[in-house]
Amino acid sequence: MPLDPTPVDATLFASLDPPRLAGSRCSGCGTVTFPATSSCPKCMEPTMAPYALPDRGTVWTWTVQGFAPKPPYVPPAGGFRPFPVGYVDLGEVLVEAHLLADAAQLRIGLPVRLVLEPTWETDGAPVVTYAFAAAEEDA
C-alpha cells in the first residue's frame, strides 16, 4: 500500500497509526457517539468531549451489500464487489462499519479489531476508510 493515505474524512479519526476512531463522550451520562457531536442526544446538554473509541469489539449484526449502491457511493479501484457491513459492539457504543471477513466466517459475536481499509484513489493518492477485521486468532 502506498504511503500517506488520505482518510475519507479526517474528522472520523483520532489517529491513523495506530487507527483509532474519534467519537465523543458525555461527561454527564456517559453516552458515546460516533462521529463526535457537541450536544448529547440523551441529556440534551453541550457536555460532549472528544473520546477515542475502543479499537476492539464483536460483530453485533451484519449483512452483505449485494448490489452496487447509487452515487455518491464511490466503488473501489477494482470496481464494485459485494461487501460485508455490520454494527460492531464496542461496549459503550455500536459503530457501523465495513467488515473485512469471509462471508462464511461472519457471525454475531465474531471478535473484530479496527483497521484502515483502502477504498478509491484521488489524484493517485489512496483514500482510506475505517473497517473492522476478523480478530478470531488473537481473541
Interaction site with other proteins (CB under 8 A): 8-9, 11-12, 23, 31-35, 41-42, 60-67, 69-74, 83, 85-87, 89, 91-98, 108, 119, 129
The least CB distance from residue 56 to other proteins, in Å, is 16
- Tell me whether residue 20 or residue 138 sits nearer to other proteins (CB atom): 20
- What is the CB neighbour count within 10 angstroms for residue 139? 11
- Within 8 A by CB and 6+ apart from 30, the residues are 92
DSSP-derived secondary structure letter, 71: T
The least CB distance from residue 131 to other proteins, in Å, is 9
SS3 14: strand
- Tell me whether residue 118 or residue 137 sits nearer to other proteins (CB atom): 118
**CA separation for the pair 99, 63 (Å, rounded):** 9
The least CB distance from residue 52 to other proteins, in Å, is 14
